[in-house]
Amino acid sequence: MTEKSNQVEVSLLGKTHQFACTEGQEQVLLDAVALLNQRVEDMKQRSTVRNEQNALLLAALHLCHDLQALQQSKESQQNQQQALIKKLKDHLGE
């Protein structure tokens, strides 16, 4: 079964773009665009980067860094949980 998709119009860096989006995920796309736009503006305010493409790249790199940090944190938490489960099983004699 194929999922339906809709065309969603967004404004990124002041320019209008259309993206195909899975039906029901439109707001997620709009929220992602809003976050990216905000990060680009933050980069332009906090650094000497004034070129929008460079600010976009810098914002994307920061978002990727944030994602990697979250993934590493999640993995660490999963490892801690597994260690605790093992300790509990060992203690209970399972």
- pLDDT tens-digit map of 40-79: 988 888 878 878 888 899 999 999 999 999 999 999 999 9
Domain count, the chain: 1
**Other residues' Cβ atoms within 10 Å of the Cβ of residue 80:** 10
Q: What is the mean pLDDT of residues 18-22?
A: 93
pLDDT of residue 2: 61
In this prediction the pTM is: 0.74
φ, ψ at 58 (rounded to 5°): -65, -40
The residue to which tokens 């940090």 are assigned: 69
Amino acid at 85: I
Closest to 30 in 3D by CA, of 52, 51, 7, 53: 7
| Confidence tier at 16 by pLDDT (50, 70, 90) | very high
Domain residue limits at 27: 5-92
Q: How many whole angstroms separate alpha carbon 94 and alpha carbon 72?
A: 30
Can you tell me whether residue 20 is helix, strand or coil? Answer: strand
